[in-house]
Structure formats: C-alpha cells, structure tokens
Amino acid sequence: MKVNSNPAHATASPAAPATRSDAAPLPSGAAQSSSSAKVALSSTSRTLLALQNGETDIDVAKVAAIREAIARGDIKIDTGKIADGLLASAQELLR
C-alpha cells in the first residue's frame, strides 16, 4: 500500500465524526426535542449572563453626571494621585 502525501487526495478517517465550527444555530422556532425541561440558574450564572448581555456595562446616567460636573469645574482631577496609582500598578506588574 502506498501512502499519498498529497493533501488534495486526503480523506477523513471514518472513525472521526465530521464537525463544523461554523454551523448556524437553530432558528428560535425550531424544535429540538419533544420534551421540555426547566433549568434553574444560580445567582452567579445570572450575574455572568447579565455581564455577557451587556446589561450592566455602563451606568449612562452616572457617566453623564460626572461629565457635567467636570465641565462645570465641580470635580478637580488630582493628576498626582493618578500618576501614583499608575506607578504602583506598574511596580506590581514588574514583581
């Protein structure tokens, strides 16, 4: 038996099932099985799901309030404190 090293003639092993990483998900109305199951999510799972969905990413109202306060001059930026924090972070990373 001759082994062909040409990849154009290579075939998949019958023991390995074919998989597709680009397979499209089933439509929302598509039935997957005739039985239904209920799943209870833990509080951690619900938190992770909320983070994934972007529900808790940014408090837009708080950002707007801070932006307005900076524009009015109500909030003073302490650049020395920011620099100290950056240096401390860099030192921690270098350890």
Token duo for residue 30: 């598509």
Between 2-11, 26-35, 53-62, 79-88, the lowest mean confidence (pLDDT) is in 2-11
Q: What is the pLDDT of residue 13?
A: 44
Distance CA 60, CA 70 (A): 15
Q: Could you report the per-residue pLDDT of 27-76, keeping only the tens digit for each? A: 555 555 567 888 888 988 888 887 777 666 788 899 999 999 999 999 88
One-character DSSP codes across 13-48: -TTSPP--TTPPPPPTT----SS----PPPHHHHHH
How many distinct structural domains can be found in the chain?
1
pLDDT category, 10, cuts 50, 70, 90? very low
Q: What is the pLDDT of residue 25?
A: 59
Q: Which domain holds residue 94?
A: 40-95
Q: Does 8 map to a domain?
A: no
Contact 65, 59 (CB under 8 A): no
Q: Does 54 map to a domain?
A: yes
Q: What is the pLDDT of residue 60?
A: 86
pTM of the complete model: 0.32
